Amino acid sequence: MRACGGDTILDWTHAGPSIIASFLASLVEFVEALTIVLAVGTVRGWRSAIIGTVAGVVFLALLVLIFGPRLQRIPITTLQLVVGVLLLLFGMRWLRKAILRAAGIIGLHDEDAIYAKQTNALRNDGTPGAARLDKIAVATTFKAVVLEGLEVVFIVIATGVVGHTLLPASLGAAAAGIVVIALGLIVHKPLSRVPENMLKFAVGILLSAFGVFWIGEGLHFGWPGEDLSLFGLVGGFLAVSALLVLTVRRTASTVASLPVVHASPSADRKGDAS
């Protein structure tokens, strides 16, 4: 591999963010899926939970095998625009939510609470038979793996297909899967210490940057610095998002202090206590 050849830099400009985005996004989704699989396995038995999980993984693999190669036949400009718009919508949705969570406007994702809620719900669904297949367990794990995995599949295909980095993106997702499964086997409880919002923040920024970059390319706008502008977009989204978190936090603390001012006798005397 050349250390500083033009091709190598160009490949890593696309492959680097693509691997990081798919690894981080997959980490978040696998942690969420693991919580439900652990809850099902603990309450309803591991046999049915594993069957549901494997069925979900096979279903997702079929989706990738069916749609992955077909997407590469679509003309590059159309692909850039369609994938760019979808990535942008997906990324900016995550980014908006991550900013609001970081600013304390909406609550953080709590894996322990989800695990407790899921186990309670599964206990209330009756006791599974010892020998036969537990349909509730299979359906719950299948649904969890497919729904969380669908996001992984979308991110891997979307970040990989346009820049021809499908393999590196898949490796990033696979690495995240291995890490989460290994940790799940070791700790045997939900991975509640994973800084999920920070990961979603990072993924939101990366996917939004990818999305706007591909849309610009698809519209033939031409980015200053060409492929390297991807890093500028990441920096731009990061800077604005950090600023928004600080602004919203500051405004929230100002608003929180207002009732004290209004309750003061001087404010009452002026007749503006409402």
Which x/- pattern over 200-239 shows residues binding other proteins (rule: CB under 8 A)? Answer: --------x---x--xx--x-xxxx----x---x--xx--
Whichever of 195 and 235 has its CB closer to other proteins, that residue is 235
Q: Is 252 in the site for other proteins (CB under 8 A)?
A: yes
Q: Specify the residue, 152 or 166, whose C-beta has the smaller distance to other proteins.
A: 152
- 144 is a site residue for other proteins (CB under 8 A): no
Residue 134 DSSP one-character state: -
- Near other proteins in 12-31, by CB under 8 A: none
Q: For the chain, what is the radius of gyration of the CA atoms?
A: 23
Q: Measuring CA to CA, which residue among 190, 39, 31, 30 is closest to residue 125?
A: 39
Least Å distance between CB 99 and other proteins?
5
Total count of residues recorded for the chain: 274
Which lies closer to other proteins via its Cβ, residue 6 or residue 222?
222
Rounded to 10 deg, the angle between the 76-102 and 229-262 helix axes is 30
Burial classification of residue 274, based on how many CB atoms lie within 10 Å of its CB (0-12 exposed, 13-18 middle, 19 or more buried)? exposed
Can you tell me the distance from the alpha carbon of 248 to that of 4, in angstroms, rounded to the nearest whole number?
A: 42
DSSP state of 219: T
**Residue ranges that bind other proteins, judged by CB under 8 A:** 85-86, 88-90, 92-93, 95-97, 99-100, 103, 105-106, 147, 150-151, 154, 208, 212, 215-216, 219, 221-224, 229, 233, 236-237, 240-241, 244, 247-248, 251-252, 255
